[in-house]
């Protein structure tokens, strides 16, 4: 067999582009979006778009279920409508689960761009078309609870935090009719903050090696500290934690 080198180059370019075409147009009223390879990591140089289109007078609610992108280098941009700079709603990166997003119109666009190295698990989100009379679920709290399970105009949702956490924001959200003929929550989702006295701890680490210290190190750590560190390397099988000092 003989291959002209140009053929090889052209066919591998073709494979590269077809393998990486991750433009999605989504027209069903609800569904799930995952970054390629989720949760085992998205490719470097990913350039993916998801365009969600609902029926007229509907809005789209996007709720994240998993989120881990290389902080500051891999970005998920969310556009309220077409992907133009004026429609940019938010740029998401890092390891924190983003709050739910509700579009103002019947179109929402997600755009994932990754750089040449290091990836995270990626992201997973569910979306749902919201009719004009509903606000949609404002979201669950990390370390807290939600009471109320209907999200239409006139409904109220109450939030509380687990023991050891205090609520920041409004305890009760009300779904109100808006002047534009749709519905919206009167306040943003509150969150649960660790009670003062609980040390700030945990963090995110990148790269082949690094140092983790417990709170107040080298002083003894507080009782009941509960800290999480997220360690990202380009190869998840190679996380090697060796304990140096306690």
Quick one: 75 or 177, whose CB is closer to ligand NAG?
A: 75
Report the candidate in 6, 9, 7, 63 with the shortest Cα–Cα distance to residue 31.
63
Using CA atoms, how far apart are residues 200 and 122, in angstroms rounded to an integer? 26
By beta-carbon proximity to ligand NAG, the closer residue of 97 and 113 is: 113
Backbone dihedral angles phi then psi of residue 110, each to the nearest 5 degrees: -115, 140
Please tell me the distance from the alpha carbon of residue 46 to that of residue 35, in angstroms, as a whole number: 9
User: Considering beta carbons, is residue 177 or 198 the nearer one to ligand NAG?
Assistant: 198
How many other C-beta atoms can be found within 10 angstroms of the C-beta atom of residue 245? Answer: 7
Least CB distance from residue 228 to ligand NAG, whole Å? 7
Q: Shortest gap between Cβ of 37 and ligand NAG (angstroms)?
A: 17
Q: Name the minimum Å distance from CB 59 to ligand NAG.
A: 16
Neighbours of 120 (CB within 10 A): 27
What's the min distance (Å) between Cβ of 18 and ligand NAG? 7
Q: Which is nearer to ligand NAG, 177 or 203 (CB)?
A: 203
Residue 187 beta carbon to ligand NAG: minimum distance, rounded to whole angstroms: 24
Query: Could you give the CA distance from residue 69 to residue 41 in angstroms, rounded to a whole number?
Result: 9
**Residue 7 or 225 having the CB closest to ligand NAG:** 225
Helix (H) or strand (E) holding 106: none
Contact positions toward ligand NAG, by CB under 6 A? 17, 21, 23, 25, 30-32, 47, 113, 143, 226, 240, 242
């Amino acid at each position: 067999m003989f291959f002209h080198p140009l053929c090889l180059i052209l066919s591998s370019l073709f494979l590269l582009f077809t393998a990486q075409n991750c433009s999605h147009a989504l027209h069903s009223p609800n569904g799930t979006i995952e970054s390629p390879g989720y949760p085992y990591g998205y490719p470097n140089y990913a350039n993916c778009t998801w365009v969600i289109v609902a029926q007229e007078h509907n809005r789209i609610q996007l709720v994240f279920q998993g989120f881990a992108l290389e902080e500051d280098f891999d970005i998920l941009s969310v556009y309220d409508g077409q992907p133009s700079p004026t429609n940019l709603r938010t740029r998401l990166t890092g390891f924190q689960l983003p709050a739910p997003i509700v579009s103002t119109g019947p179109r929402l666009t997600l755009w994932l761009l990754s750089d040449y190295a290091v990836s995270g698990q990626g992201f997973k989100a569910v979306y749902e078309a919201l009719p004009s009379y509903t606000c949609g679920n404002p979201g669950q709290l990390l370390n807290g609870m939600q009471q109320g399970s209907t999200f239409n105009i006139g409904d109220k949702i109450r939030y509380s935090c687990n023991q050891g956490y205090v609520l920041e924001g409004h305890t009760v959200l009300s779904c109100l009719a808006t002047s534009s003929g749709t519905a919206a929550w009167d306040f943003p989702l509150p969150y649960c903050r660790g009670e003062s006295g609980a040390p700030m701890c945990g963090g995110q680490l990148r790269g082949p090696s690094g140092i983790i210290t417990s709170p107040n190190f080298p002083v003894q750590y507080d009782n009941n500290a509960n800290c999480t560190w997220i360690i990202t390397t380009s190869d998840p099988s190679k996380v090697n934690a060796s304990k140096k000092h306690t």
